[in-house]
Amino acid sequence: MSTRIPEPAYPARNAEALYGDKSLYAKLGEIAEKQGGKTIIEEFEIPIRSGKAWVVKKGQLCKLSTPRGPQVGDLNIWSLHNPRERFWASRTKQLHASHVSVGDRLWSVLPYMRPLVTIVADSLKEYGVDEVGGRCHDLLGTRCDPYVNKLLSGDDFDFQCHSNLVRAVLPYGLTEADVHDVINVFQVTGLNKDGKYFMEASPAKPGDYFTFFAETDLLCAMSACPGGDLSVYGWGGDSAQRMLETCRPLGVAVYEIEGKEEVLKDWKESQPPGYKGMHGLKIPVFGQQ
């Protein structure tokens, strides 16, 4: 008996509207994967149970990595010049998938709705679907936070991903209200037969990576999740201490593409779709009904 597979709900008349120039991103993926072809601009590690924010300029590559083994990272992205424009996990999920990899893009909120980044390299892209339906690089869930921790366990804990991101963006003039839904990089998740969200241990090994191309100037922030690799995840009690043993730092590197004038000669900074309507509203003329 065959199982019907529904069609995606958000098709595009032109695939380039969703994915851009695939040949260009394939070339950028080759540059990301090899040793040459790029110059490092900034490189650092995010310590365990901490967060850090950094800038990626349009046309640059940013590589996130697990230098010492499996560790989940919760990533936020904003337009550098307008923090009201920020990553939109829900629409990205609808346009691409619940878990993203090479070729997929991370989109911004309304009224901007343009690609902020395009994923060009992913050492875990072959992970696929595991025996319980888990997939890697999660958009189903969001960041852990001290409020849900208090609700579920009754305990206070100050180093959840939400709190790590709050501290990370303060030097850039942002506040807790600016922290938003994340992409959980290196995290395996899914929905069980009852539709309940589940998490599994990260499959990342030392040196695994997830690299994206900046479609516009960006402010990024990432938390090294206090759950570590999620192999012993829990709420309250001694769970924070047990998870500590599974925590590892995350790596971040920002690169300038060498000879980018030639490599990016046909590339343009991403733009909104260009909707010109007024949502059905009309501006009244004074003195007229």
For residue 82, is it within any domain?
Answer: yes
For residue 115, is it within any domain?
Answer: yes
For residue 74, is it within any domain?
Answer: yes
For residue 148, is it within any domain?
Answer: yes
For residue 156, is it within any domain?
Answer: yes
Count of C-beta atoms within a 10 Å radius of residue 272: 12
For residue 166, is it within any domain?
Answer: yes
For residue 15, is it within any domain?
Answer: no
Domain interval for residue 106: 41-259
For residue 26, is it within any domain?
Answer: no
- Digits of tens for pLDDT over the chain (289 positions)? 568 989 999 998 899 999 999 999 999 999 999 989 999 999 999 999 999 999 999 999 999 999 999 999 999 999 999 999 999 999 999 999 999 999 999 999 999 999 999 999 999 999 999 999 999 999 999 999 999 999 999 999 999 999 999 999 999 999 999 999 999 999 999 999 999 999 999 999 999 999 999 999 999 999 999 999 999 998 888 888 999 999 999 999 999 999 999 999 999 999 999 999 999 998 777 766 5
Domain count, the chain: 1
The pTM score is 0.95
